[in-house]
Chain A
């Protein structure tokens, strides 16, 4: 059956009101989860590219000591812009907004999410927040210069467009909350009959844990940002020491969300690893239950550790000890996942297709990132390393080397499902190696620079640090060029790729049992699921559900 002539979700859709002739309106008013996922993907990637060029301009400025291409105030705005776009417009929507939206219903055997119109509203709120952030670049004193963390009292006093940025972040938070609500209810209500919680694919576990964090943590930063706006406009006083207020309280409130936020970023990424590994190791995942439970544990313990961002802020000693201890503790479920993954690969007949390469790359880079996190949370060591390039390297190794690498892996793994075509494997592998090499050239020197004392967010530096910045600058160019090359390959393959069937990777999960690209309502017949998600026998999927799903009822 030639998939390219079958009707797919590209040909027909449901919209939120009325019927539209215009193709554009059919896209921006769609309530089909698959189209909404693609709407997110296009806008997110556009912002990603903008943000990496902002970063490139920062690297160019820092290529040598002294001023190169921008003045110090502009530099502050640059790193704020880079952070705000990357965090709020790219990584937090991230994998859930694109791959969660597209795949969650498919993985659990549903026809859509529980609240399709709320899903569309999420995207519109995302666009609105993005618009506000962009607008603030061009009015008044320009974009905020506080860093993406908006610490009081500077965020209360500076003349740049902080209120714009805070309002944008608040609205983006609303979009995130709605996605979270949608996913929790979908997982509870729309699983195919027979699919208990411990028969769900592990990506679903990751999305479910993430959704809870989106619901419970985001409102805290929402109200915090509003409080800063009230401080700026009304002078309430809660972060102002001259009125008895406490800036450290701001840090508490901000990080009560922002730390769980990074687990919100990484849990879906871990879920992607757990999907890709069984497919390319041709065997079931090792320790399914422990990986599932560890997702929930990371989400829960992640609520307890925010203070490790405040270890040098002037917090009480007791608080520091509690937070450091709990942070060491949260590394344990993550470690369990890593051991399970390595055990899955051990003695397996591994196919090193591009998605698998990305997974192996992440296992290396996230391990480095995660372990350096433990270095940072050792209280005495943090006194030396806090606010240095060591921190910058740590979070780029975890966020870029963990989350974004897995976003790239997911883009390659599910590309055939989204488009019905395959990309050029050789070129994609070249892009991976380019990015991997560029990534390590860019950020590994920063561990050293930070340990030797190079502060972060600094416009200028002493000559002894110049060599690290130069190496990083070269790494930045390699990384960005390779990312653009990777995107070019994928975009080219949308039109020119080799047509592939339903299941080019010969995988077992439900999304591969329907056509590529999927039809509008996903499954003709929803199957009864009384089996585990990754069952392989002698390297082949144990069962073929296509007949059930496409044809008559189970016989």
Chain B
């Protein structure tokens, strides 16, 4: 029945685990290595978080080894979520700015 090959081995689980631990340590060290404004901290932290998420998704959640369909639909869901963020941001950021295009 199972025509699916599984490429995750115990070794891979351990290796990815170690990388994630290292990234967690980096998360803690980041403010001392790159001290800065709130935005700098947030950008750096989110950058690390996205790398962690990609590793977890590709390996622990097996997306690297799944049929392309799975990768497409995950991408689609993320794009939809991103759209919500981006367009809501256009309200959050410009909420009280007057619009002088038609002066």
A-B contact pairs, 27 of them (CB 8 A): A188-B69, A216-B77, A216-B80, A220-B84, A248-B91, A252-B88, A252-B91, A256-B84, A303-B80, A303-B83, A303-B84, A304-B87, A307-B87, A314-B95, A315-B91, A315-B95, A316-B92, A316-B94, A316-B96, A316-B97, A317-B97, A317-B99, A318-B97, A319-B90, A319-B94, A322-B90, A323-B87
For this complex, into which size category does the number of interface residues on chain A fall?
Answer: 10 to 19
Residue-by-residue, is B60-103 near A (CB-CB < 8 Å gives 1, otherwise 0)? Answer: 00000000010000000100100110011011111111110000
A62 to B33, CA, bound (A): 69
Q: Are A304's CB and B83's CB within 8 A?
A: yes
A202 to B69, CA, bound (A): 21
A314 to B98, CA, bound (A): 11
A149 to B77, CA, bound (A): 25
B52 to chain A, nearest CB (A): 23
Q: Knowing A188-B69, A216-B77, A216-B80 are in contact, say whether A316-B93 is a contact too (CB < 8 A).
A: yes
Q: Residue of B at shortest CB range from A184?
A: B73
Q: Which residues of B contact A (CB under 8 A)?
A: 69, 77, 80, 83-84, 87-88, 90-99
Which 4 A-B residue pairings sit nearest by Cβ, starting from the closest?
Answer: A317-B99, A316-B94, A319-B91, A319-B90
Q: Are A316's CB and B69's CB within 8 A?
A: no
Q: Knowing A188-B69, A216-B77 are in contact, say whether A316-B90 is a contact too (CB < 8 A).
A: yes
Q: Residue of B at shortest CB range from A212?
A: B76
Residue-by-residue, is A93-123 near B (CB-CB < 8 Å gives 1, otherwise 0)? Answer: 0000000000000000000000000000000
Residues of B within 8 A of A317 (CB): 94, 97-99
A149 to chain B, nearest CB (A): 18
Residues of A within 8 A of B93 (CB): 316
A319 to B90, CA, bound (A): 5
A295 to chain B, nearest CB (A): 15
Question: Which residues 226-270 of A have a CB within 8 angstroms of B?
Answer: 248, 252, 256
Name the one of A216, A220, A318 contacting B94, with C-beta atoms under 8 angstroms.
Answer: A318
Extra contacts, 14 of them, besides A317-B99, A319-B87 (Cβ < 8 A), are A188-B69, A248-B91, A304-B87, A307-B91, A315-B95, A316-B90, A316-B91, A316-B93, A316-B94, A316-B95, A317-B94, A318-B97, A318-B99, A319-B94
Residues of A within 8 A of B87 (CB): 304, 307, 319, 322-323
Residues of B within 8 A of A315 (CB): 91, 95
Q: Residue of A at shortest CB range from B95?
A: A316
A63 to B84, CA, bound (A): 42
Q: Residue of B at shortest CB range from A313?
A: B91
